[in-house]
Amino acid sequence: MPRDNRTPVDHMPAIVVLAAPGLIPAVLTNALAQAFRGRVIVIKERPEGPFAVARRRARRLGPVTALGQLGTAIASRLMKKTSRTRMDAILAAHGRRPELNLDVPRLSVTSVNDAETRSAIARLKPGVIVTIACRLIGRETLAAAPCPIINFHAGINPAYRGQMGGYWALALADPDNFGATIHLVDAGIDTGATLYEVRPKPDPADSMATYPLLLAVAGVERLIQAVDDALSGNLKPVQTTGPSALHYPPTIWRWLWTGIRRGIW
């Protein structure tokens, strides 16, 4: 795991994590903070509420689809409560904590695209920025970054861009592409060049509630390696080819039908 105990931390470039609150950002940020001690700083944005997300999707996808996706979001929250045992088992098997380490410095902002975020990036002068489960990075924030921006995406690009990539790979009978991608961030949605991929095998006990966590713990070492590559100037991005599709959460009726018919929940 990358560490350099010979060089004072003050003389090393910072690693800025742009993230929303939640389990996946906490797990991945803790792993980075352990690997790069004293160098990780979190800029945490305020998450959008489910109804705000539904209104935005209604403008893009139509009100019926947005309402169906809101139903799935509610079902997912309920499933997380019933999937606690499986989630605890995943965390324990990989030695990961579900809460963000209190020693990790953090700054709270309304959005990662705020002027406050850009000002913090300019002040911190990071050697690399990592995005985890936050809003799509806008062009102004992209332009303000003095370093590579790396994203952890719970899906294999370009076939499973967007949201719930692990679920869609299974729901579309493509289990070989159940996985996660660590990639560079550009102005598109998960369209940046790939750095690493991981393809774990889900357990029969896994579901929509646990797929993201399974992918996150499987991708920890690759994410650490990508950050180390960026800091050492050894990034080797690859522009992947093949069918490209942008996915959103399934509607509640599609999710129920797939679960009943194929056992993919």
Residue 207 has φ and ψ, to the nearest 5°, of -155, -175
What is the spatial distance between Cα 259 and Cα 261, in angstroms, rounded to a whole number? 6
186 Cβ neighbours under 8 A, 6+ residues apart: 142, 192
Q: In which band, very low, low, confident or very high, does the pLDDT at 3 lie, cut at 50, 70 and 90?
A: very low
Each residue's pLDDT tens digit, 33-86: 999 999 999 999 998 888 888 888 999 899 999 999 999 999 998 999 899 999
Q: Coil, strand, or helix at residue 225?
A: helix
CB-based contact 159:245 (threshold 8 Å): yes
Residue 7 has pLDDT above 50, yes or no: no
The predicted pLDDT at position 10 comes to 58
Q: Is the pLDDT of residue 2 over 70?
A: no
Domain ranges of the chain: 14-262
pLDDT tens digits, one per residue of 174-228? 999 999 999 999 999 999 999 999 999 999 999 999 999 999 999 999 999 999 9
Candidates 226, 164, 146; CA nearest to 193 is: 226
CA end-to-end span of the chain, whole Å? Answer: 35
- Which pTM was predicted? 0.91
- Confidence tier at 87 by pLDDT (50, 70, 90): very high
The full 3-state SS of 8-66, as one line of letters, equals CHHHCCCEEEEECCCHHHHHHHHHHHHHCCCCEEEEEECCCCHHHHHHHHHHHHCHHHH
Backbone angles phi, psi at 161, to 5 degrees: -75, 165
CB 145 within 8 A of CB 31: no
Q: What architecture is the 14-262 domain classified under in CATH? A: 3-Layer(aba) Sandwich (3.40)
Residue 214: phi and psi, rounded to 5, are -60, -45
Query: Is it the case that residue 116 has pLDDT exceeding 90?
Result: yes
- The H-or-E segment that residue 89 falls in is helix 84-94
Give pLDDT, residue 52: 85
- Give the pair of three-digit tokens for residue 244: 């490209």
